Amino acid sequence: VLTRRFFVAPAFEIYGGVRGLYDYGPPGCAVKNNLIQTWRQHFVVEEGMLEIEGTCLTPEPVLRASGHVEKFSDILVRDAVTDESFRADHIVEDHLKKVEADPSVTAEDKTEAAELAARLDELSISDMDAAIQRWGVKAPVTGNDLTPSKPFNLMFGTSMGPNSATPGFLRPETAQGIFVNFKRLLESVGGKMPFACAQIGLSFRNEISPRSGLLRVREFSQAEIEHFVHPERKDHPKFDSVRNAKVRLLPKAQQTATGRTIEMEIGAA
Query: Would you state the pLDDT for residue 121?
Result: 84
Query: Would you state the pLDDT for residue 240?
Result: 87
Quick one: average pLDDT of 221-239? 87
pLDDT at 90 over 90: yes
Quick one: average pLDDT of 227-232? 86
Report the C-alpha gap between 118 and 92 in whole angstroms. Answer: 11
pLDDT at 107 over 80: yes
| Residue 36 and residue 221 in contact, taking contact as beta carbons nearer than 8 Å | yes
State how beta strands 166-170 and 22-24 pair: unpaired
pTM assigned to the model? 0.81
With a CB cutoff of 8 Å and minimum separation 6, the contacts of 7 are 24, 25, 27, 28, 31
Contacts of 256-262 with C-beta under 8 Å, sequence gap 24+, read 259/122, 259/124, 260/119, 260/122, 261/122
CA atoms within 13 A on the CB side of 255: 6
| Residue 53 and residue 201 in contact, taking contact as beta carbons nearer than 8 Å | yes
Report the C-alpha gap between 128 and 120 in whole angstroms. Answer: 8
pLDDT at 3 over 80: yes
| Residue 149 and residue 128 in contact, taking contact as beta carbons nearer than 8 Å | yes
Which of these, 202, 222, 219, lies nearest to 12 by C-alpha position?
A: 219
Torsions phi, psi for 186 (to 5 deg): -65, -40
Burial class from Cβ neighbours inside 10 Å (0-12, 13-18, 19+) for residue 190 reads: exposed
Quick one: average pLDDT of 207-228? 91
Quick one: average pLDDT of 166-177? 95
Neighbours of 155 (CB within 10 A): 21
Query: Would you state the pLDDT for residue 255?
Result: 75
Query: Would you state the pLDDT for residue 96?
Result: 95
Summarised one tens digit per residue, pLDDT across range 115-139 is: 999 889 889 999 999 999 999 999 9
